[in-house]
Chains A and B, each alone.
Chain A
Amino acid sequence: VQLVESGGGLVQPGGSLRLSCAASGFTFSSYWMSWVRQAPGKGLEWVANIKEDGSEKYYVDSVKGRFTISRDNAKNSLYLQMNSLRAEDTAVYYCARARMTSSWAPADYWGQGTLVTVSS
């Protein structure tokens, strides 16, 4: 199992960024997937979840209306479109896989993370 994030970088407040997570080594279309972030020196914060078929999506309140989680099961890829970025969105963003198929469950595999910095 491998999860590889990409797309992070430096962006100005109010800007947009799209993160990607390439999955391999498992049947991607059978698992809920998540984005979890960690601000520098801080704890973990769940950002969003998406069901295996993309039919259900959930977000933490602080990103609702600004971030969109999506997936392309044909490409074994997870995405996070981030708009109207704020300084407080600065963090390492991890993609993660639920530990059981077709289940809302804790994450057993994580990517290495991609750093998003929102600053002028």
Chain B
Amino acid sequence: DIQMTQSPSTLSASVGDRVTITCRASQSINTWLAWYQQKPGKAPNLLIYRASSLESGVPSRFSGSGSGTEFTLTISSLQPDDFATYYCQQYNTYYTFGQGTKLEIK
């Protein structure tokens, strides 16, 4: 089974900050990686697919990069609506989610 490990688990930041979340796969997944945002009590929202492709309607301040086993999600300038929990997901072999990164207001 492919394991996904996100870091950090919690991130404190301020509006306007640039933040980066990392996701590591236990084996190569090429670029079969997605990123989701989830707010409390809501379903996840797809942000990025194929490691770096922005889903339609997602603000351009979100970007993704990486291949193989190392991936990053970057938010270029945090907005108040961005404080949420973020999950990576591999879809190379079945699906596996990372444990999540909670982005908190500093």
Q: Do A and B bind each other?
A: yes
A residues apposed to B, CB below 8 Å: 34, 36, 43-46, 49, 58, 60-61, 94, 96, 99, 104-108, 110-113
Option from A43, A49, A112 in Cβ contact (under 8 Å) with B99: A43
Given contacts A43-B99, A106-B36, 14 further A-B contacts (CB under 8 A): A36-B44, A43-B98, A44-B100, A46-B94, A46-B95, A60-B94, A96-B43, A99-B55, A104-B91, A105-B49, A106-B34, A106-B46, A108-B46, A111-B43
Residue pairs across A and B with CB atoms within 8 Å: the count is 50
A44 touches B87 (CB 8 A): yes
Q: Point out the residues of chain B lying under 8 angstroms from A44, CB to CB.
A: 36, 38, 44, 87, 89, 97, 100
A49 and B94 contact, CB distance less than 8 A: yes
A-B contact pairs, 15 of them (CB 8 A): A34-B95, A36-B44, A36-B95, A44-B38, A46-B95, A46-B97, A94-B44, A105-B49, A106-B46, A106-B89, A107-B46, A108-B55, A110-B43, A112-B43, A113-B43
Chain B interface size, as a band, is 10 to 19
Residues on B with beta carbons closer than 8 Å to the beta carbon of A111: 43
Residues from chain B with Cβ under 8 Å of A61 in the complex: 1
- Answer yes or no: B96 CB below 8 A from chain A CBs: yes
* Inter-chain contact B44/A43, CB cutoff 8 Å: no
Nearest CB on B from A110, distance (A): 4
Which residues of B sit under 8 angstroms from A49, Cβ to Cβ? 94-95
B contact set with A: CB distance below 8 Å: 1, 34, 36, 38, 43-44, 46, 49, 55, 87, 89, 91, 94-100
B60 to chain A, nearest CB (A): 18
The listed residue (B44, B49, B87, B95) touching A99 by CB distance below 8 A is B49
Query: Chain A contacts of B100 at CB under 8 A?
Result: 43-44
Measured between beta carbons, the chain B residues less than 8 angstroms from A96 are: 43
